Amino acid sequence: MKLRDLNSIKEALKENRVNKIYHSGEKNRRIQEILKMAKKKGVPIYRVAMKENIVAEVSPVSYLHFDEIISRAITNNSFILFLDNVVDQRNIGACIRTAEFFGAAGVVIPKRRGGGIGEGALRASAGALFHIPIARVENLASALKKLKKYGFTTIAADLDGEDLEKFSLTTPAAIVVGGEDRGISQPVKKRCDVVIRIPGIGKTSSLNLSVAAGILMYELSRQKY
């Protein structure tokens, strides 16, 4: 969803719902105030050539602080889903729906290397977005490093990993899934304790990322209970 009204953009920033801001470089005082506010909140800002002076991409949900999701995962001995380089809104929504179904403490997305949460993700989640916390962080690798201090197992799903059945998975945990084309970035993968692949017997070389995420979340839940 896009906002162009200055008052609406300001209110969306207050509620932590702005994913990105695009502006034309106009020196209008009110626009500069909004850009200053966005910068303070860590919202990515892009200067582009466009007819409008300012446009904000807004999420249909508000974001929680990452520390609150950590606390939920520890309290409930649960897991956190990380989406790295995932831009397709249907995949984002599908992953969130599955994470909520399996009792995830929350979902974490990057502020810059991802698609954010839009109307497409809301539709694909079938409303699950309203029942699970979402956090945005500047750096996924740093966030995973922080989790290790709390005893989390960090798990990456990637084709170059070892077969899933070789592992005993424990909680609290973080499951990291990579995007459609770029996969999991190397800095993020290096922060993971294990890299897991889901073996198949067909000619298709890989699964859709939301399906792979669902299998991992099911297996983690199955081993937990």
pLDDT tens column, 91-115? 999 999 999 999 999 999 998 777 6
Does 123 share its domain with 201? yes
Does 71 share its domain with 53? no
Does 52 share its domain with 88? no
Question: Residue 190: pLDDT above 80?
Answer: yes
Q: Mean pLDDT over all residues of the chain?
A: 90
Does 71 share its domain with 101? yes
The pLDDT tens digits of the residues spanning 59-94 come to 878 889 999 999 999 999 999 999 999 999 999 999
Does 102 share its domain with 194? yes
Does 29 share its domain with 113? no
Question: Residue 123: pLDDT above 90?
Answer: no
Question: Residue 2: pLDDT above 90?
Answer: no
Q: What is the CATH classification number for the domain harbouring 45?
A: 3.30.1330.30
Domain span at residue 27? 2-58
Structure tokens at 211: 């399906």
The pLDDT tens digits of the residues spanning 20-33 come to 999 998 888 999 99
Does 97 share its domain with 203? yes
Does 50 share its domain with 91? no
Does 99 share its domain with 190? yes
Confidence of residue 225 (pLDDT cuts 50, 70, 90): low
Per-residue pLDDT, 163: 84
Report the pLDDT averaged over residues 190-206.
Answer: 85
Does 25 share its domain with 42? yes
> Where do we find the tokens 């380089």?
85
Does 122 share its domain with 165? yes
> Total structural domains in the chain?
2
Q: How far is CA 19 from the centre of its chain?
A: 12
Per-residue pLDDT, 27: 85
